[in-house]
Structures are given as structure tokens and as C-alpha cells.
Amino acid sequence: MSDQARYTVGKGTLLLIEGDITRDDADAIVNAANSALAGGGGVDGAIHRAAGPMLPAACRAIIAEIGRLPAGGAVITPGFDLPARHIIHTVGPIWHGGNSGEPEKLRSAYTQSLARAVENSLSSISFPAVSTGVYGFPVEKAAPIALKAMAEALTAGSIREVRVYLHGKHAFDLWRLAADALFGEITR
């Protein structure tokens, strides 16, 4: 049985879930993409496989219109074959030691993703741990940045539920520690 932790934040709910984000049925799931929206490994590869053959053309159309998506940006496509109705593609920063704007860019990846959800009148959104895989951002530094951005959106009110999918018990435990520190111990 995979772990979960639930927090009440503002008027909404924040859930940490140890599991696979591609099975989530929120209004939108967030993809940890690259600047070309070209698909790749990690959660990006899993989302592209699960969303099916229509997704690459939707991504190419966006890149044709806006050029490369910079770190900290976010765009939205349909969810195609996923249970989720939409995919919000964000690009996290590559970790270069922490003094190259990485925390600000990671915060922007979360706030821009949440802004795309609000603009599209979505009330539930699910995130992976952006930048903490191939891009090397330390999980214990990434978690509080992400959780604060999520808490601001939940407090503002139009987003009612934010879920974070963590891969593996170690990542889940680090995020739970960060969330307990920010939001207090909770009902599980």
C-alpha cells in the first residue's frame, strides 16, 4: 500500500501521494518537460507514453508558435488518452549548484503551472517533483519551494486540490517532512 499524506491549506486540500502520476484523474497533471517539449525520459516519457500519439503534434504546434519554452515557463495541452483532462507542461531549471537562479526558476515553474490551471478554470492539479530527477535539483531544497507556491494558490481559493506524486518512499518521506514543517501534522 503506497503512502499518502493529506493537509488542509487555505480553503483547499494538499495531498502527497507515493505513486504514478499518469494514473491521476485531476483536471490537469503537470509534466516535467524539456524546453523543446520533445518528450524524454523520467516522468516526461511516462506521460507521453500514456497520453498517446496525439500529444507530440500538440507540443510541436506550441513550439512553432512560441519557440522554446524557457525554464520557469508553463503551457497547456489536452490530456488525450490520460485520465486527466489536461497536461500542463513546465520546464524546471537544471541544477548548477544553486547560485544560477535555480530556486527562482523552480518557483516560477510551479506558479506558472498553477496560473495556467486558474486561467483555464481548473480546480484540481497534480504535480511531479519537477527538476529533482535528471535535472538534479536537491529534493530537500525543492520541496519547500514547491509547497509554498502550492499553498499560495490554495489560499487564493480557485484551486481546490493540489496533489504531489512522489516516486519512491525516500522522496515521499522528504516531502512529508517539508509539508509537516509548513502546514503542521495532519490527518492521514
Q: Which three cell numbers stand for residue 33?
A: 518537460
Which range in 34-42, 74-82, 98-106, 116-124 contacts ligand AR6 by CB under 6 A? Answer: 34-42
| Residue 90 CB contacts under 8 Å (≥ 6 apart), including other chains | 30, 31, 32, 33, 72, 73, 74, 109, 110, 112, 113, 130
Is residue 179 classed as helix, strand or coil in its secondary structure?
Answer: helix
Contact between 133 and ligand AR6 (CB under 6 A)?
yes
What DSSP letter does each residue of 22-33 carry, written as one string? GG--SSEEEEE-
Q: Which three cell numbers stand for residue 179?
A: 509539508
Contact between 21 and ligand AR6 (CB under 6 A)?
yes
Number of residues that bind ligand AR6 (CB under 6 A): 24
Contact between 34 and ligand AR6 (CB under 6 A)?
yes
Which range in 1-9, 29-37, 70-78, 111-119 contacts ligand AR6 by CB under 6 A? Answer: 29-37
Contact between 73 and ligand AR6 (CB under 6 A)?
no
Q: Which residues lie near ligand AR6 (CB under 6 A)?
A: 20-22, 32-34, 40-44, 46, 92, 128-135, 165, 167, 171
